[in-house]
Structures are given as structure tokens and as C-alpha cells.
Amino acid sequence: MIRSRALLAFRYSMATVVAFVLFGTLSCGENASAPEPEPANVAVETANSVQKIVGPEGGTLTTTSGAGIAYTLDIPAGALLDELEIAMTPVT
């Protein structure tokens, strides 16, 4: 009696695991009804582009577009493991 209950409990738990695995696998498929994204219509202002080497200590990049809009990118301390060149270019 105890052995059959243990076997039954094992079967239920295995069925639950299999159901979760199947559900997880099937839910990761592509969404056929999702619309295609429209292409972005932007112009890049390379004349106002800025570059800066930023390291683990962090840093700030600032640029202004031709229309006078100021853009600031703050990179906090600890966000980067090594020095890296960061570039920022305004778009219109």
C-alpha cells in the first residue's frame, strides 16, 4: 500500500515536470500575429557626435543637436569593467 502511494506520487510529480517542460518549450515560439516593425526614419548628425574613453570610475558624455536639444549620457561608477570608447550621436 505504501509502495503504491509512493509510486503514484512519483508518477504525478513526473507528469507535472513533463507538463511544465512542454509548456515552457511551446511558449517560447514566435508570435505569428505580431506586426512587423516599421523602419525608423531618422537622420544622424555626425557633426555633433562625441566620443570619450570611459572606465570603471564612470563618466558623462554630453552633446547638443543642431536644433539645440542637449543630450547627456551618465555612465555610473562600476558599470564598466575596463576602459571603453563610448560614442554618442544625436539623431533627428
Amino acid 88: pLDDT: 93
Residue type, 56: P
Going residue by residue through the chain, which has 92 residues, state the pLDDT in tens, using 9 for 90 and above: 556 777 777 787 888 888 777 777 766 666 667 788 888 888 889 999 999 999 999 999 999 999 999 999 999 999 999 999 999 999 88
Residue type, 14: M
Pairing of strands 70-75, 59-64: antiparallel
**pTM beyond cutoff 0.75:** no
Amino acid 3: pLDDT: 65
- HSE of 57, CA atoms in CB hemisphere, 13 A: 2
Domain ranges (residues) in the chain: 1-30, 43-92
